[in-house]
Every structure is written in C-alpha cells, then in structure tokens.
C-alpha cells in the first residue's frame, strides 16, 4: 500500500516515529522484591505496571530509534540513582523472568487511589484469574508509526477517500501481516531462558529451572489468554468490534486483557471508542524481552529490524487471515519462544510445516532482496539477525543461559549491582 515505485517514497521509506515502554522489577540486594511504594509519583514518564514494585518507563515519541533509546537510558539512570539512595538500597532486576518469590504477598498489586481506584480493582481481577506470579514477567513494548509526510505522499498517489481512511487500511493490513510473520520478532529478541525454582515450587529458592524455552513470557506459559483470538481486519470498526465481542462473551474483563503481541492504537486515550472515532495512529509490538546484555535492556538493531520487517510487510500482498490462519499464527508465536528453533516447527501461510530457524532465514533472505532492490542499505542489520538462526550461539537466550546458569538469581544480582554502579558514575 506504500507506492514503493516512487523515488520520494523509497528515499523516505525509513522515516518513522518510535516510542518505548520498559518494565522492570525493583528488588533488594538479597534478590527479593522491594515492598516500598512507587517512589516516582510525580513523573509523567515513570509509572507502575501490575505490581507496586514494577516500574514502567514510557518515553516520548522520537523520530529515530536511537533517540528513543537515549531517553529510555536517561530515565533508567535517574531511577537507578533514586533507588540507590533509599534506606534499604534497591536495584532494577535486569531480566524478564523474576528473581526469588517467597509468596504472593511479595507481589503487591499497584495501589491507585481516588478516580483511579478502578486500576487496582482491575489488577485484583487479573491476579485472581491468572495468578500473581505470571504478572511478574517484565518486557518492552515498541510503538511505531510511519512518518506522516511519508504516508501523505503515498496517499496523494492513492487518490480516493480520506487520509485517515488510508492510514487505517494501511495499519490494519500491517497488523494482519504481523499476526502471520511477527513471530520472528519473538525469536530474535527472546532473552529469558532461566527461572528461579521459587517460581514453580513455593519456598524452594536458588535452583535454576530451564524449561526448553528462550522466552517464558512469550511462550505458552506466559502472557496469553485461554483462547486463540480471531480478529477482523477489514475495518477499524470491525477490528474494535471483534475485540469487544470477547468482552461481551465474558472471555475478557476489558479490551486491555487481550494478551496479543500486536495492537493497533489511536492517538490520545487508549480505548476502543477512541480507536473507532479517531482511527489508527500507531502500532504496538509487545513481544520484546528485557535484554540483560544491553544497559538499556534493548538492542537498537532489534528495534530497527522490527521497523524493516514492517516496511517489508506493508509492501507485500495482503495476507489471508482465515480462522485457521489466525489460530496457527498464535501457535507460531508461542513456538518461536522455544529454545531450539531448529527442531521446533511452525505452520507457514501456505500450509507447509517448517522449522522456526529455517522459516526465519527464508524471511530474512526475502527482506535482503527487497531492500537491495529499492537501494536501502540495511544489510548489516539483516545479517545480524540472520546469524542468530544460522548459529544458535548468537541468540540472546543461548548466551544468557551459558552466562547465568548455576546461580541465576545470585549472578543476576551481581549484574544488577554492576548496572547500578555504572549509572551512578554517569
């Protein structure tokens, strides 16, 4: 739907907007959860997620991934400096999987007062339905939109309907394509292969648990509903209505309970009514693990690869999104969270079965050809991702398992302390 044949479009195809959301648990030096109230009440950019000790950084919107990561790092440094000076010194746990959990009281539901009391009540509902342990998983959400001028230039060649209608159709197509191919982002960013034994057996601490997964939170053990959602991508109204129907059927308490790795978002208020009224503003990718190998918890090349994938997908033919395709898509995401991707299979859109690793290399090869044809030099980013599937030792999860097994929490706390000392020196 982007007029890639036009020289201006090709020249500006990588123009976009980036916003990041990063969750992290606050912990004490012994690897247990902090029990202090959120110390950043006055910040517009540091909030709470599920539990009181789970900070969430929300950056502004930036024109480059680099600038968004720079702001993320600034907030991260400020948090580290603030919690290092508390009476009981705290640290930011650098992994998606939690450290020691003594019991559910270690995971206090975020306390909201006054007109926001409903947020606490909603978290209580999630706690009852899914269990608090699952709510301790932390991750990063990447929000992306194509530049307004890029889309307007393409729209002027399109020549029918309103600009917002054009945007809606473009992002609906993209969301549908990401349902089919977005599993590759799970595969390239999975970075949480180890759990502490206290997550699976109450009162048993310090044992490493490996379940054959590279990302527990993105696997079948993580953030998923107990049904495979089938969404309608024909229009914004149809998309919103297809989510709303699960609320009406009692399968979801609210639209936000739909644990799907890709979401369409409107500008302003984050709800379905705003989406119906104002249309799509950007797309949210929710499958990124915290990467403890990076100070910021996110590798810039992974954000840029996500952008390249979206550019490639928006220039491809529209995907078929039958019930069968969408059910397979959900399972593909879960399978891509496994550790050995050369043995785990996924279902391709044409019905063929293929290993995750081979399917990923095939996709990246197609992307290489596409970007070479339109003369966009991104081969270094694509090679960086290709090597993860060519040799599994290049994947984050494999590196992390080797580095942190034999004392996951103790070794993790040493890294948490090191990261804080680095921030205090900045």
pLDDT in tens, 58-86: 999 999 999 999 999 999 999 999 999 99
Segment 90-103, tens digit of pLDDT? 999 999 999 999 99
Q: Look at residue 159 in the predicted model and tell me its pLDDT.
A: 67
Q: Look at residue 426 in the predicted model and tell me its pLDDT.
A: 82
Provide the residue ranges of all domains of the chain, joining segments of one domain with +: 7-424
Question: Which range in 108-117, 146-155, 317-326 is most confidently predicted, on average pLDDT?
Answer: 146-155
Q: How far is CA 91 from CA 20, 35, 66, 255, in A?
A: 21, 12, 25, 33
pLDDT category, 239, cuts 50, 70, 90? Answer: very high
pLDDT at 292 over 80: yes
Segment 148-202, tens digit of pLDDT? 999 999 999 876 789 999 999 999 999 999 999 999 999 999 999 999 999 999 9
Question: The tokens of 250 are what?
Answer: 């009692």
Q: Mean pLDDT across the stretch 311-337?
A: 94
CATH number (3.30.565.40, 3.30.590.20, 3.90.1570.10, 3.30.70.3270) of 7-424 reads 3.30.590.20
Q: Mean pLDDT across the stretch 305-323?
A: 94
Q: Mean pLDDT across the stretch 275-294?
A: 97
Name residues whose C-beta falls within 8 Å of residue 144's C-beta, 6 or more positions apart in sequence.
16, 17, 18, 19, 282, 283, 285, 306, 307, 310
Q: Look at residue 32 in the predicted model and tell me its pLDDT.
A: 96
Q: Of 270, 137, 142, 235, which Cα lies nearest the Cα of 191?
A: 137
Segment 217-236, tens digit of pLDDT? 999 999 899 999 999 999 99
By DSSP bridging, strand 353-355 and strand 345-347 are antiparallel
Residue 265 pairs with which residues in a beta bridge?
282
> Taking the model in full, what pTM does it have?
0.96
Tell me the longest C-alpha to C-alpha distance in the chain.
64
Query: How does DSSP assign 366-399, residue by residue?
Result: HHHHHHHHTT---HHHHHHHHHHHHSGGGSHHHH
pLDDT at 18 over 90: yes
Q: What percent of the chain has pLDDT over 90?
A: 83
C-beta of residue 310 within 8 angstroms of C-beta of residue 283? yes
């Amino acid at each position: 739907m982007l007029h890639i044949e036009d020289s201006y479009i090709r020249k500006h195809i990588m123009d976009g907007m980036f916003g990041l959301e990063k969750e992290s648990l606050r912990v004490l030096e012994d690897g247990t959860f902090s029990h202090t109230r959120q110390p950043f009440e006055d910040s517009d950019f540091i909030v709470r997620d599920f539990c009181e000790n789970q900070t969430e950084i929300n950056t502004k919107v930036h024109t480059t991934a680099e600038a968004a990561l720079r702001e993320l790092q600034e907030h991260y440094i400020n948090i580290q400096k603030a919690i290092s000076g508390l009476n009981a010194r705290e640290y930011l746990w650098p992994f998606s999987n939690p450290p020691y959990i003594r019991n559910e009281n270690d995971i206090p539901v975020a306390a909201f007062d006054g007109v926001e009391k409903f947020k606490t009540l909603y978290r209580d509902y999630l706690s009852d339905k899914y269990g608090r342990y699952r709510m301790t998983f932390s991750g990063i959400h990447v929000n992306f939109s194509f530049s307004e001028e890029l889309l307007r230039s393409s729209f002027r060649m399109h020549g029918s309907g309103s600009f917002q209608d054009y945007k809606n159709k473009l992002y609906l197509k993209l969301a549908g394509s990401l349902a089919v191919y977005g599993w590759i982002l799970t595969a390239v960013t999975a970075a949480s292969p180890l759990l502490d034994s206290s997550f699976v057996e109450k009162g048993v601490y310090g044992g490493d648990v490996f379940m054959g997964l590279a990302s527990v939170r993105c696997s079948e053990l993580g953030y998923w509903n107990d049904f495979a959602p089938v969404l309608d991508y024909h229009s914004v109204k149809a998309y919103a209505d297809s989510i709303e129907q699960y609320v009406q059927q009692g399968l979801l308490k609210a639209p936000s309970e739909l644990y799907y790795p890709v979401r369409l978002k409107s500008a302003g208020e984050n709800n379905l009514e705003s989406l119906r009224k104002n249309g799509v503003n950007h797309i949210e990718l929710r499958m990124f693990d915290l990467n403890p190998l990076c100070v910021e918890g996110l590798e810039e090349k992974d954000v840029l690869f996500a952008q390249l994938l979206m550019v490639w997908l928006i220039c491809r033919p529209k995907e078929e999104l039958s019930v069968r395709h969408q059910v397979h898509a959900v399972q593909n995401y879960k399978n891509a969270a496994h550790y050995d991707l050369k043995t785990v299979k996924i279902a391709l859109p044409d019905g063929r079965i293929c290993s995750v690793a081979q399917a990923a290399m095939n996709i990246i090869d197609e992307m290489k050809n596409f970007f070479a044809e339109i003369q966009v030099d991104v081969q270094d980013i694509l090679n960086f991702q290709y090597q993860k599937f060519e040799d599994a030792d290049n994947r984050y999860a494999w590196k992390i398992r080797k580095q942190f097994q034999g004392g996951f929490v103790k070794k993790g706390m040493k890294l948490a302390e090191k990261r804080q000392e680095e921030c205090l020196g900045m």
